[in-house]
């Protein structure tokens, strides 16, 4: 596609991390029984009055600051009127003419700044569950505080949209604004996409894409839409301004309806809420939460620790992980070794945590590739809650391994026994008899026994099938309960064979 340029803008809704809803005191707890977190306010009974949740404003201001937005200090809400079965009030309280924040940007690792057009506060609607013959309505989500973050049409490819989402999520997680958990519906994304001739000043006709349930889905839907629009343009066919739904099973977008215009919603100022004013003091309080951005951290990690981009992205994908890494490095200034053990066995164990059961055994194989296919998924922030091991104790395990006092298997075992308990490392090693045995005197009887009892692999090895030695080493490891130094064992077996030849 040489002469056409892709123009993408994203509209992201994130659920603010408040305990209660934006205009009433109902809980925001996820997975409550349907219609248990509701009251006359969020169900829009006549005569009720909304009360604005201060916490929602704090988090929203914080998000605006993190994205360098200009903050409109006078805040007022407007009613967005429409009918839908998941909206009992027939209107949504939102911000329209004057959003909370405007003209910000989000920087990507490439250095490109995606401009943020607006960030505004609004309430969520309920949820419809469609059955075969009927639909059910759950209003637990009605009135949950949302932040709508609208980017300018600055995004130039589906991959860039994917990167933008990944970093937006990290930005918000770092400052504690939202958990951005797409699975729990805390982050939703709609995309606008159009194509235009490179030299054209005006944007092409855009379509709006909805119903993408993952970052991957957003990217796939956009890629599909690029191809669809491109082929229509090349055939001289018209592109309609419409909303299209992403069908993940069919991997295609389908036309849903023509897009509404703002005037269809009959916005007008919300009469039940007075204007609010944000003081400089209030803003300065929130500034305290804006620290190093994920992008800055990425740059610093690459420069300071000499890690690869992939390692860095996995570490920074979770702020707690990144902090843990930096603290552990203070106790053992070998960043690569610390990072290997964190990204490998540590993540693997963490990934095996269910919310209730800490890990009890070591499993084989590294899972970090699955955990972080693109570097942004990382591990859910809350999984770290179960981690009890201190960075000091963690680095101690890495040190003992590097000094060959414990072997790889033993180190993993110590880690698995201490990660959720922070048990004393020395005590575990002593109790479980995990100290690595490198002394030939101690190992010789095991080596001789294994050679004597396994004539077949011995013969294979002597006939030139060298990998057969792995089986013999494995047998010695088994007999020594995994404590033998495998390198020493290998040398001893080889030496014994040499003397036979
Ligand atoms: Zn309520």
Do 455 and 427 lie in one domain? The reply is no
Domain termination site, one of 287, 305, 320: 287
Total domains in the chain come to 3
Do 309 and 353 lie in one domain? The reply is yes
Distance CA 349, CA 483 (A): 21
Residue 156 three-state SS? coil
Q: What is the pLDDT of residue 234?
A: 84
Identify the weakest region by mean pLDDT among 96-100, 265-269, 386-390, 441-445. 441-445
Distance from Cα 20 to the centre of ligand 1, integer Å = 8
Show the domain range for 461.
440-500
Say whether pLDDT at 363 is over 50: no
Q: Is 314 exposed, middle or buried (0-12, 13-18, 19+ CB in 10 A)?
A: buried
Mean pLDDT of 91-105: 94
Do 124 and 147 lie in one domain? The reply is yes
Distance from Cα 390 to the centre of ligand 1, integer Å = 41
Query: Could you report the per-residue pLDDT of 160-184, keeping only the tens digit for each?
Result: 999 899 889 889 989 988 888 777 7
Do 283 and 308 lie in one domain? The reply is no
Identify the CATH number of the domain in which residue 479 sits.
1.10.10.410
Distance from Cα 437 to the centre of ligand 1, integer Å = 64
Residue 214 three-state SS? coil
Do 252 and 388 lie in one domain? The reply is no
Distance from Cα 213 to the centre of ligand 1, integer Å = 26
- Mean pLDDT (the chain) is 85
Mean pLDDT of 468-490: 86
Say whether pLDDT at 356 is over 80: no
Q: What is the pLDDT of residue 153?
A: 92
Query: Could you report the per-residue pLDDT of 286-345, keeping only the tens digit for each?
Result: 999 998 988 899 999 999 998 988 889 888 888 888 999 999 999 999 999 999 999 888
Do 387 and 266 lie in one domain? The reply is no
Do 394 and 446 lie in one domain? The reply is no
Domain termination site, one of 404, 431, 458: 431
Distance from Cα 50 to the centre of ligand 1, integer Å = 9
Do 266 and 366 lie in one domain? The reply is no
Do 63 and 22 lie in one domain? The reply is yes
H or E segment to which residue 138 belongs: strand 135-138
Neighbours of 275 (CB within 10 A): 9
Do 324 and 191 lie in one domain? The reply is no
């Amino acid at each position: 596609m040489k002469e056409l340029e892709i123009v993408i803008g994203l509209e992201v809704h994130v659920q603010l991390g408040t305990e209660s809803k934006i205009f009433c005191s109902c809980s925001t707890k996820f997975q409550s029984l349907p219609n248990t977190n509701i009251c006359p306010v969020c169900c829009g009974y006549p005569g009720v009055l909304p009360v604005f949740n201060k916490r929602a404003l704090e988090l929203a201001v914080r998000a605006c600051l993190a994205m360098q937005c200009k903050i409109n200090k006078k805040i007022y809400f407007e009613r967005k009127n429409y009918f839908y079965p998941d909206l009992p009030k027939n209107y949504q309280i939102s911000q329209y003419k004057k959003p909370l924040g405007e003209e910000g940007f989000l920087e990507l690792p490439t250095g490109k700044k995606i401009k943020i057009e607006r960030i505004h506060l609004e309430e969520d609607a309920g949820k419809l569950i469609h059955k075969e013959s009927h639909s059910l309505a759950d209003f637990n989500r009605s009135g949950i505080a949302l932040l709508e973050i609208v980017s300018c049409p600055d995004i130039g490819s589906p991959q860039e949209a994917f990167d933008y989402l990944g970093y937006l999520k990290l930005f918000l997680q770092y400052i504690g604004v939202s958990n951005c958990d797409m699975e729990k519906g805390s982050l939703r994304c709609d995309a606008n996409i159009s194509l235009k001739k490179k030299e054209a000043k005006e944007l092409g006709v855009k379509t709006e894409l909805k119903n993408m349930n993952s970052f991957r889905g957003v990217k796939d839907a956009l890629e599909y839409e690029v191809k669809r629009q491109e082929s229509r343009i090349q055939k001289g066919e018209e592109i309609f301004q419409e909303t299209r739904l992403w069908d993940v099973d069919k991997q295609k977008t389908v036309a849903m309806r023509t897009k509404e215009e703002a005037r269809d919603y009959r916005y007008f100022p919300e009469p039940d809420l007075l204007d609010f004013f944000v003081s400089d003091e209030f803003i300065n309080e929130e500034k305290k939460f804006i620290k190093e951005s994920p992008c800055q951290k990425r740059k610093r990690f690459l420069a300071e620790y000499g890690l690869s981009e992939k390692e860095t992205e996995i570490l920074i994908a979770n702020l707690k992980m990144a902090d843990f890494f930096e603290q552990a490095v203070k106790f053992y200034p070998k960043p690569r070794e610390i990072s290997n053990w964190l990204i490998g066995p540590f993540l693997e164990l963490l990934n095996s945590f269910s919310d209730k059961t800490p890990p009890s055994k070591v499993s084989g194989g590294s899972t970090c590739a699955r955990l972080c296919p693109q570097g942004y998924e990382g591990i859910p922030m809350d999984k770290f809650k179960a981690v009890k091991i201190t960075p000091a104790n963690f680095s101690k395990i890495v040190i003992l391994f590097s000094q060959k006092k414990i072997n790889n298997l033993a180190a993993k075992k110590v880690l698995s026994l201490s990660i959720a308990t922070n048990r004393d490392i020395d005590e575990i090693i002593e109790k479980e008899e995990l100290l690595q045995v490198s002394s030939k005197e101690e190992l010789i009887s095991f080596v001789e026994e294994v050679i004597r009892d396994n004539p077949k692999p011995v013969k294979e090895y002597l006939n030139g099938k060298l990998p057969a030695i792995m089986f013999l080493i494995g047998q010695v490891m088994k007999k020594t309960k995994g404590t033998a130094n495998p390198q020493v064992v290998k040398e001893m077996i080889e030496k014994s064979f040499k003397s036979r030849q």
